[in-house]
Structure 1
């Protein structure tokens, strides 16, 4: 299966169906060596592997939802399965409409969408400069306005 076919199969929401032995999980972040820590519906946390067909094609970040097959990728007792599908927002929306999305994850996706919506509303309402949103470079010393004016006075 080529990269083009793999990418297309990932994006096709119509063809996606979860198998009975597969489980929904939320990513807690990458742990290196193509492994990700995920949290299942029951709250258990395990390491799962990213199969070679997804590597350098899909990036799974903290908070993303995936489908895990626990019967695959059990090379050691630390690894609890393999990621078989990365769920994009349109996949989640289709699963919610079909009534197949777990209620445990519905609250988390709704909260994330609400926070994003509230944040964008706040940005529209306030045209003030919000320093909290700006990137802070911790490698450079922070000079306040009083420090810079005192330096100019000394010259």
Structure 2
């Protein structure tokens, strides 16, 4: 299967209106961090954190960011990786699950940040205005000349 065909099938599977609630062994979790190699650290409704893997069909086709919600299947024999992502939830899924009372109570108290509410980048240097206004700098423009020797 070509990459374009695979992407078409994966996107079709995600975008279809499958609003079925999670099965008894599945659970809804929130993505906390990407740990590399398609592993994600997640938080369960009981505040426990563990690692889950992204299956091959989603790799290089779907990107998951921090704060997204997914449905996982637990891996019983897993030591480091305790689950596998089955479904990535969209905003429509979340609204439907809340209306259907299938949404975990631990996640209802917290609001997700939308794409418009981007956190401030703390890695940029802060510039501080020292508050001094020197009027001498702008009033005496005749002291400066351009490259052709003319006064400005």
Q: TM-score, normalised by structure 1?
A: 0.68
Deviations 1:66-96 (A, max 9, x none): 111112793xx11111111111111101111
Out of 66, 71, 74, the residue aligned to residue 67 of structure 1 is: 71
The whole-number CA distance in structure 2 between the counterparts of 1:34 and 1:86 is 14
Deviations 1:90-115 (A, max 9, x none): 1101111222111111112xx336xx
Out of 38, 51, 56, the residue aligned to residue 52 of structure 1 is: 56
Q: Secondary structure at the match of 1:69?
A: strand
Deviations 1:49-70 (A, max 9, x none): 1111111222111111111111
Relative to its length, the structure with more helix (as a share) is 1
The whole-number CA distance in structure 1 between the counterparts of 2:52 and 2:123 is 34
Question: What are structure 2's unaligned runs of at least 5 residues?
Answer: 139-143, 145-152
Out of 99, 102, 108, the residue aligned to residue 101 of structure 2 is: 99
Matched pairs, number: 134
Whether contact under 8 Å (1:48, 1:73) holds in the other structure is: no
The whole-number CA distance in structure 2 between the counterparts of 1:12 and 1:64 is 18
Between Structure 1 and Structure 2, whose CA radius of gyration is higher? 2
1:3 aligns with 2:7: yes
Whether contact under 8 Å (2:67, 2:112) holds in the other structure is: no
Out of 16, 21, 24, the residue aligned to residue 20 of structure 1 is: 24
The whole-number CA distance in structure 1 between the counterparts of 2:11 and 2:104 is 25
The whole-number CA distance in structure 1 between the counterparts of 2:40 and 2:22 is 20
Out of 22, 33, 36, the residue aligned to residue 32 of structure 1 is: 36
Q: Secondary structure at the match of 1:105?
A: helix
Q: Secondary structure at the match of 1:66?
A: strand
Whether contact under 8 Å (1:28, 1:38) holds in the other structure is: yes
Q: Secondary structure at the match of 1:82?
A: strand
Question: What are structure 1's unaligned runs of at least 5 residues?
Answer: 121-132
Q: TM-score, normalised by structure 2?
A: 0.70
2:149 corresponds in structure 1 to: none
